[in-house]
Structure 1
């Protein structure tokens, strides 16, 4: 299985959960916060993935990648921090109890 196909279920789940919270209070504020968190997480991913790949701590088989890279880091690595930044607040919102 290729890495781009592997991230698709995570992206789909994140999108579905985020859209499900669209009518909840503070949706716009949550999206701004999630976007800022995603930017920070992806910057950290760019820095540390490149450092770990440069240190030869791990590598990816080229035949399983899309071929798009940010430095030495494959683009697919950035899907996980993106999903985390949006999915965690969406799940939190969907599972919180309504206030009296």
Structure 2
């Protein structure tokens, strides 16, 4: 179960950073946008990962996986697009809401 352990820090970081933006303006709107983006990315991952695995472009050693799959794709593959859909907007929000150096002067 190597791959689930590799994914875990990314998921934890995504949850922490996303929750850190919960009190900032437009959180609900950002979550709705991130959710829609996540659906699209997961759909694309589902189609293309299954296709690439089916034509034998790559494979995963079964002993390193959780065993859960969507088609041919292990569920661990879906963590990265989910994290990207929520983490990138959260980081952007935190960075854009931070006071700039010229505001401190």
The question of 1:49 aligning with 2:61 is answered no
Q: Deviations over 1:30-88 (max 9, x none)?
A: 00000000000000000000000011000000000000000000000000000000000
List runs of 5+ in structure 2 lacking aligned partners: none
* Cα separation, 2, equivalents of 1:93 and 1:23: 11
Moved >2 Å (runs of 4+): none
* Superposition map of 1:1-100 within 5 A: 2-97=2-97
How many residue pairs get matched? 100
Q: CA RMSD in A?
A: 1.5
Structure with bigger gyration radius: 2
SS at match of 2:6: helix
TM-score, normalization: structure 1?
0.96
